Every structure is written in C-alpha cells, then in structure tokens.
Amino acid sequence: MRSSVRMTRLVSSGCSRLTRLVKNTGSTAGQIIRAKSNNSINRGCVLSCRPNRHHHHHQQHQHPRPHRPGGATTMTATTANYMLATASRLASASSLPRWATLDPSSLGTSPVPHAVLNLVNGNWVGSETNLVIPNPMDRDAPPVCTIPDTGTHELGPFVESLKMVPKSGVHNPLKNVERYRQFGEISRKFSGHTTYSPILFFFTTTRPLPGESSPAARVRKKKRHDQAGEALSDPAISHFFATSIVKTVPKSYAQAAGEVRVTADFLKNFGGDNVRFLARSFGVPGDHRGQFSHGHRWPYGAVAIIAPFNFPLEIPVLQLMGALFMGNKPVLKPAEKCSLVMEQFLRLLHDCGMDRGDVDMLNCRGPVAERLILDADVRLTQFTGSSKVAEHLLEVTRGKVKIEDAGFDWKILGPDVDDVDYVAWQCDQDAYACAGQKCSAQSILFAHANWEGAGLFDKLRANASTRNLDDLSIGPVLTVTTKTMLDHAARLLDIPGSRLLFGGKELENHKIPEVYGAVEPTAVFVPIKEMLKAEHFETCTTEIFGPFQVVTTFADDELSLVLEACERMSHHLTAAVVSNDVEFQTTVLANTVNGTTYAGRRARTTGAPQNHWFGPAGDARGAGIGTPEAIKMVWSCHREIIMDSVVPGEWTQPKAT
C-alpha cells in the first residue's frame, strides 16, 4: 500500500514539474522548449518528435539520449502535452512494469490511443501513416491503438537489417557460442515489479529540481530481478499482459491468463543451459583413423515470423524465441489488431538483456510484408494463419515457408457413453471458447448415436446459452463478419435432413463494429450420408473461424463413413477421440493423421499447453511449436561436418581413376 502511495506521489510530482515547464514557456504544439544548463533541469535529454498523419495527432517519440553535462535540453511542447496526458492516465495505477509504455486499462477508453511503433536495427520508429485499430467491443468508443501503416517505400532499413545477417546465422555451434547461454539467461531472468510511467521515463534521465530527491534513484531502489518465467508468473505482470490481450482480442480473462501462463512456462522450460541443449550435435566414427563425422543443427540466418491475432502473446513468443535460440535474426510481423502485445513483450526482452538489434518488428499490410521477404531474401518464413495466404507465400517464396495454417478439427465420440456432463462441457469449451477463434477449435463433432440418446445435444445447447458478452465467454469475431457466418448456416440448412441445434442468430444488445462478427454460439446438424455427398462435403467442411460447428451422428456400422470424412478433409491439425474403448480408439488412431490428437474420455481439441508438440501432420511444410523437437525442426537445418585429418605415414599415390 505504501508503495502505491509513493508511486502516486512520484507521478504527481513529475506531472507538476513538467506542467510548470510547459506553462512557464507559454509554448504551443510544435514550438521548442529549451532549458539552459542553469535552469531547473541542467542535464537532460532530447525527445525528437514528428507528427504522424492520422486524426489523433499522436506524437512519435524516440528513446531519450543523454547530453553531456551543461548541454541544453530540447523537447517539443506536443511531446510534453502528450507525456502529461499519459502520466495523468497512469497516476492512479499502483504499479506498472518499468518497461511498459502503456496502461492496459486505458486501451479503448483514452481519447489519445496508444501508438505502436516499429522496431528496426534497435530503434523504435514510426511510419508516414498509421492504421487506427477500432475498439472491438464498442464501435462508439475510442480506438484501442494506432499502428504504423508501413509502405513499401519505407522498407529500406528493414531490408538492410536482414541483409546484414550471414547465412551462418548470428550464432551457431562454431560461432558466438556464448549466445546460447545468453538466451538461456534471458529466458530465465526477467525484471520484476519496478513501476514505470512515461513521465518517470523522462525524469530518470535528468537531475532533480533543487531541493527534490531524484525519481531515478527511487526507481533504481525498486528494481529487482526475478527468475525466468517468474516475471510473467508474477500477478502484476501477468495481469498486464492478460488485460492487454483482452482489450485487443476480446476473450474471457481466464483464457487470456492461460495464454500468459503457457508462455511463462515455455520460457521457464528453456532457462539456463536448455537453449544450448537444443543445438546438441552427434558424431559417427569414420572409415579410417582421423575421420569422424559430426551432425549439427544450423541456423538459416535472416528469417521472418508472420503471427496470427488469436493468440497475440503465446504463438509469436514461442516461435520468436525458438528462432532466436537457434541463432537466427527474425523480423516479426504481428497481426495488426493486436501488435501492441508483442511490442510490449519486446520491451520486456530488452529489459531482460536482449540486444535491441536481435529482433526487428514490422507493422504493415500483407503485401508489404511479402515485399520485404522477397527483397531481403529471407531464408525461411514461419507463417501461422489462413491456408489461402499460406499457399500464396509458398508460391512466391518457392517453398521457403513453414506453415501452421487452417484447422478444420474433428472430434469423434465413441459408443461407450459415460461422464456426459464432462464431455458436454469439454465440447462447449472446444467449440466456443475465445468465440471459436482457435486454430484448434472443434469444427465438427461426430457423435455416436448413443450420445444423442443420453441427452448430449440438450446439454450442449444449455452450456452454450450461458455464454455472454459481459464475461467475454462469447465475443466479437475479428476475421469473419456476422453476415458471412449466418449465410454459411443458411447453406448448411439447405442440405436435406439438416437442422439448427441452437444459435444461428446475431448477438443481442451489442455494439461490436460491423467489420467484425457477432453471433450466438451455433451448431448445425447434418446427416452424415448427406455430408459425404460431393455436392455437400466442401460446404460441411469449410472452416468458419468463429463460434460455429457442424454436428452429426453415426451408428455402429457407420464408423467407416466417419473415417472417410476424416480422410477427405484437407487440413490435419488437432483432433480428439473421446472413448475409453481401446479397440475403438485404436481403429480411429490407426486410420487418421492429425498432428495433435487427444484420446480418452477427457480428449479435447484445444488447450494445448507448452509440454507437448502442437502442429499439423501429413504435410511436409508443416510447422510445430512449443517443444525442443518443434524448435529444431522449424528453426534449424542439418549440417554435417566430416573431420578427416590424418594422412597415413605409409601412404603412396594410387593410380588415377
């Protein structure tokens, strides 16, 4: 409590000092405030500012650069005004991480939205124009943030940054090997509870006013270091990221907090020596004395990560860290709607000791990212997202892409009915948590007829009816409009024998922007024999990235029809076989291919933690995530080095062949 009071006073004090500085000059936006060495601030910094072209007139600020003693301090009045507004928003906050540049509670409520920046060659920079990201919950509320709308003509620094990376990577088993341990330490060591605000960020680089104690000294006294993952596991920091996620990709707080926990556990897994263990080599004896072959895991060099919106922290962090662990220099292209989450995470990594030049972050539209990948000759791109974009990238890069694309994920309920309430709950979670916006979401449910007789469908309807916008157990769909989802339901209902189990309507009393989707959890029943007909199968197996599933039933003698449907599907990410009948389990598992498959009474399609592989199977281009095997497969290639050093003393030159 005392800490909270002290911080409020400190921010208030800083606001007062900056207010006096602004008012005493009588400056307006764009004018320059200069304080000579004998003024109240006698050792300062430069905050260079340039207006960006969007209607919020947010001022882009660079990191302060200390001047020599006695030098002048230069700061535009617009920067001072912006810092005052920001500090005022933060004054009531008891604690924010010292590296943070935003207050999650103000996202979508402040009239001055947070301005996300690009990162290139260690510098945070803006672009000529910005994209405004609307509040996904309220079309009448202020935007969540703005992001750089980087154009192709602004890609020069990004291309240069990536072209400086050799094909042998930043480190490898024979070069800069200390970096393996460095990244183990970065994963292990996070900065903890130090409170931060932009007003303190300015004053920690200045001397105090006469008679005042130094804010910088107070901040340094509060700084401490925690063990790996313990920073993300810390309630305050976990809350910071969970709230940021909820504000940008509305999902229940429990879902967002689970994403933070998985990310923290992943980082703990790769603390200490575990990063260099990823590059473990092996040796094989040769054909003669002095010959020995060594197999190494070798980086690609310059790589790119194109991350999705639905897990704005977990997916990009796990892929980003894997790329770094193996010695690559990645450029990260986050999803536009949620890039502020990774902006803040990169600031945390810098605070943990990662060199600012190790990662670039580019905010842009798809065609601009494609231009960068081609112009910079990116050696490998890891893409998570739609199959359409994945196929396009594979074509233009001549196959240099590892993909984790669409997942039309199935669940099969076997004939042995038991634990109906649990199975109904898990089916509801798999289909509708995060408004169905998971690549692992349950897209189709094959239920043995015994389950319908046990009342499963009634329980599914009852569970779905409890979901609401108040607790975000249902929420906006960010990539599929309401009309698209309802039109798809109508096409399914045109199939003979189909019926609406529940849903199929727009959410009531919502203010979700029209560019997004807002529908009730929906399930459409389609008879399995009709589903398998050529004229219906594509419609029935089209992925709708929202709270939508197809349901069917099968009899004892119709399991072959279920397996036929699974065989004909085009993407094979996750699946579930809900049965404790070993014979049934074995038959299904032996004749299917999905890369992450759960089996048993508690089988699910979603909720993949950090302790097992997650990724598709049956596709040579598939990318995994989360485990040592996934990291090595995606982010390194095999290199064989054969040592052959000893020429026998009795050697004589043979006849040429």
DSSP 172: B
- Please give the distance of CA 603 from its chain centroid, rounded to a whole number: 25
Say how far apart CA 625 and CA 609 lie, in whole Å. 10
Say how far apart CA 61 and CA 82 lie, in whole Å. 10
Say how far apart CA 397 and CA 404 lie, in whole Å. 16
| Tokens linked to 587 | 């038959």
Of residues 230, 224, 240, the one with CA closest to residue 264: 230
Determine whether 49 is an active site residue. no
Cβ distance 33 to 88 under 8 Å?
A: no
Say how far apart CA 649 and CA 630 lie, in whole Å. 47
Q: H or E segment at 431? A: helix 420-432
Cβ distance 345 to 311 under 8 Å?
A: no
190-191 and 499-502: which strand pairing? unpaired
DSSP 141: S
Q: 196 in helix, strand or coil?
A: coil
Of residues 161, 122, 526, the one with CA closest to residue 354: 122
Cβ distance 464 to 429 under 8 Å?
A: no
- Please give the distance of CA 327 from its chain centroid, rounded to a whole number: 20
Which entry of 154, 336, 343, 404 is annotated as an active-site residue? 404
Determine whether 259 is an active site residue. no
Q: 598 in helix, strand or coil?
A: strand
Of residues 464, 444, 462, the one with CA closest to residue 552: 444
Say how far apart CA 249 and CA 243 lie, in whole Å. 10
Q: 132 in helix, strand or coil?
A: strand
Which entry of 439, 540, 543, 566 is annotated as an active-site residue? 439
CA distances from 343 to 175, 316, 338, 475 (A): 29, 11, 9, 24
Dihedral sign computed on CA atoms, order 610, 611, 617, 619 = positive
CA torsion, ordered 12, 15, 17, 23, to nearest 10 deg: -140
Say how far apart CA 636 and CA 577 lie, in whole Å. 33
Say how far apart CA 136 and CA 513 lie, in whole Å. 6
- Please give the distance of CA 22 from its chain centroid, rounded to a whole number: 39
Residues designated catalytic: 404, 439
